[in-house]
Structure 1
């Protein structure tokens, strides 16, 4: 079928190998065979499909490597009328790197391994690349040619190492960058804020990044999801995050450039909806298409310290706010401004003080975890909070009381929560009391010790009393 332009066989129960004869259908512009049970190696004859614009082989069981050789070194291949493809056998180069019209390549969730084929950066029309959910390893290579057309790059859940690839420095059109669940290390480069102005989703979760979170991230005005969880970041949460203007919107407008791709190939329209894995409401979810643009910040599982910036409460469009670190201070009193917030996890920190009453304003909240902190006082009540009746979400806060925990007494709660200044003054009074007691004990000890040391009459009298007591005890024991 040499005039066939599109082949869609997705979400069936197809098995076996992908036939090498597919290289004869040279008019193909789109292939979608995702979500089947195909296996074996991807045939190199796919490189003959020079008109291919979209190729989706995801969610199968394809194995093998994508060989890594620059496409400019490839021999010129003429399409023959026969099915003899012996000229391709044993060639150690990537078949995909010859598909110069390719805009969308999805090889995710297979069993592919080997290194990242650097020649993919030479595909000038490539807009979406998804290699996630495989076993690729090594560093993500740079290239002498920087592809500035890539809008969606998914490399998560592999074994990539090295640092943040400098190849992304010139990716001005990049909207989605997901390199989570790898072994990438180093620091987040400061140029990311200036060089990737279109970025809306940035996921670096579960890697080995370290250092502080650069304030330059706040130069990304369109950023809607920032996921830096499970790394080794230190320092404080940048107050400049308040500049995330997309997170301040109470409704999310669909951006002009998204992961939703409509590829017009001749008379055919092929739609591709990008996906995103997010830890949402305590479970991992996959958001697809326009729903991938969930809004939130996840900084959990790092070593961040300091207070939660009160400025974050102005990001009223956030639906996700998660943080498990070494944060101290109190929960921002205006956290109730985040009326769209659906998931709030502040567990395993060192937060103190009362839970702000404004928490009861979070009418969309369906997942809450404030456990393992130093919180005290009465738990606020509200129509939405009453639905969150699991005591464990407040667990290991010895000063908390009220439903769903133990009833409050006059000593365990106060009718009016203290503000920041009052709480700070109370902490100073408590600290002063501790120091006074310690100083009194030390002073009293040295008063008596000094009296005995410097006054001979007192010293003789004291030891005489001790000897008399000892004599009486021994005398009674002999009886």
Structure 2
């Protein structure tokens, strides 16, 4: 919103320019409704997205950024239309953000006359943005963002090299941005922030990057850069962020860390994940005392984690997942700031109890390792902030806590699949109120699910208790777990009737149990149900005549005791890819409607 002094109103010429600018735009959600409204129309400095200079009352800032990102508000819609020539009347404009709108007709040349412009954001502004006019006269420009423009030609960007005040340059995810950018890029020796992620840069990282000694943030992730690591990249003495993830870089990690030792005092974020880097973490990592995030996942690292990793006082995130790391997790209790620890998909065999002293830890992922012995409350006793815990696929790992243990945390996610958890159902879940995802499949549980469990977790969206030896009845879940999307209770000993589910459920697998009774629940309006497997139970009765599952792809009712005819409405399920009704007592003619299924998605039909 605008900044206005009680005695100062915006200039009439600039007010008229903004109204002309508005007239060229379709504003579906009324983002510019304050522009020219009665009561506001005399002072454009109070209009949304407009800011004026307190002394001169000139418009100096126009922030019209549209909706962006997964959390974008539905209340904001992009502005659609052309950029009016009237915009050039805003001669003192310093800040212009038109990103995430749908600008037609491209970017006009007159933008280059806004000589006071310091900030220009034209990211993601539509398919008409194919060329950038030469804006090299914008001698005051220090920030330029041209990202997320798929149709932007990158052959006429040499003018950027004449922007001597430029400090921040982002050209992320622009179609065809390749090594030709190097012909002018390295003339920008004063850049502090450079982001060229998501492009088609290839080959070695040029040594010329080493001459950009003012760089604080460099992001070349998601390209096809290969080969080794430039020895001099650490010459940028104030480098804080280095992102080279999702490339084809090789080389040995100790050598890379050594090459970066010049910036060991300043480097806060290092992301080398998803490359082909080998070797192991060595004690040199202890030099990087400012590191807040170290991401080395999805490489070829081996050997064990050195104790020196536990000497990084600022570390908030450590990701070593998807490597070949062996040995035990060392003492990390000095990592007093650590919030996220990802060690999944390695060959780790042990974890010390000191991990339980990481009082700020929120996410702990140790899944897909070779952990042995036992996880006890001593491993968890000070994890006050823990929200996500994944120990799954450690087939020799026992999880043993006393029956009266009260965890110090409230989990959102818990995965113990393929661990030794049973036979008792964990009593400590009674004090957990926030769990949205729970996976205890293949975990040796062999007692009935206690009745409190179904009452305790109203926010559950994903529940997997499959492949255990659990019995008992399942109550009506349509109200008790109203957010449930996926439930898998397959291959257990559950009895009683099929429960009712919330109508938003997507996946239901109750196969290979001892459920009995009818399936009248199917008459509820399940608009999103795509997978329903009730096979290998003791269900009976006639199949109901109310099949309206508009999203169903997989329907298995085989090996039960259903009798009577196949209802005609089953043939109306146009999205069906698999229909199994075999091993029942169904009789009568096949309904004509089934003929229509074969022409759509159906790949598997078992009726006999």
> Under a length normalisation based on structure 1, what TM-score does the superposition of the two structures give?
0.62
CA shift digits 1:419-458 (9 cap, x unpaired): xxxxxxxxxxxxxxxxxxxxxxxxxxxxxxxxxxxxxxxx
2:460 corresponds to: 318
1:168 corresponds to: 355
Report the Cα offset of residue 140 of structure 1: 2.4
Is 1:199 the equivalent of 2:386?
A: yes
2:506 corresponds to: 366
Residues 210, 234 of structure 1: 8 Å contact kept? no
* Matched residue count: 345
Report the Cα offset of residue 171 of structure 1: 1.4
Is 1:232 the equivalent of 2:420?
A: yes
Residues 125, 149 of structure 1: 8 Å contact kept? yes
Q: What secondary structure does 1:226 align onto?
A: strand
Among residues 495, 498, 501, which one is paired with 1:355 in the alignment? Answer: 498
Is 1:126 the equivalent of 2:126?
A: no
* 1:438-477 alignment runs, 5 A limit: none
* Residues 140 and 20 (structure 1), Cα distance of their counterparts in 2 relative to 1, 3 Å cut: farther
CA shift digits 1:368-418 (9 cap, x unpaired): 100011222212414245864866x111114455547477569xxxxxxxx
> Under a length normalisation based on structure 2, what TM-score does the superposition of the two structures give?
0.50
* 1:286-365 alignment runs, 5 A limit: 295-313=436-454, 314-336=456-478, 337-356=480-499, 359-360=500-501, 362-365=502-505
Q: Tell me: higher relative CO, structure 1 or 2? Use CA pairs within 8 A at least 6 residues apart.
A: 1
- Return the alpha-carbon distance in structure 2 between the equivalents of residues 93 and 212 of structure 1: 31
The answer for unaligned runs of 5 or more in structure 1 is: 80-89, 248-294, 411-479
* 1:11-410 alignment runs, 5 A limit: 11-19=198-206, 25=212, 27-42=214-229, 51-67=238-254, 93=282, 96-142=285-331, 146-157=334-345, 159-214=346-401, 219-247=407-435, 295-313=436-454, 314-336=456-478, 337-356=480-499, 359-360=500-501, 362-381=502-521, 382-385=523-526, 388=529, 393-403=533-543, 405=557, 408=562
CA shift digits 1:7-47 (9 cap, x unpaired): 32221222233456656655543333322223334456556
CA shift digits 1:208-256 (9 cap, x unpaired): 3432453688514431000111223332221331211223xxxxxxxxx
Query: Looking at CA atoms only, which structure, 1 or 2, has the larger radius of gyration?
Result: 1
The range that moved more, 308-317 or 207-216, is 207-216
- Return the alpha-carbon distance in structure 2 between the equivalents of residues 207 and 63 of structure 1: 30
Residues 33, 57 of structure 1: 8 Å contact kept? yes
Residues 357, 381 of structure 2: 8 Å contact kept? no
- Return the alpha-carbon distance in structure 1 between the equivalents of residues 241 and 540 of structure 2: 56
- Return the alpha-carbon distance in structure 2 between the equivalents of residues 95 and 21 of structure 1: 26
* Residues 20 and 171 (structure 1), Cα distance of their counterparts in 2 relative to 1, 3 Å cut: farther
Q: What secondary structure does 2:326 align onto?
A: strand
Q: What secondary structure does 1:222 align onto?
A: coil
Residues 55, 104 of structure 1: 8 Å contact kept? no
Report the Cα offset of residue 98 of structure 1: 2.7
Report the Cα offset of residue 55 of structure 1: 3.6
* Residues 171 and 28 (structure 1), Cα distance of their counterparts in 2 relative to 1, 3 Å cut: farther
Q: What secondary structure does 1:153 align onto?
A: strand
The answer for unaligned runs of 5 or more in structure 2 is: 1-187, 267-278, 544-554, 565-608
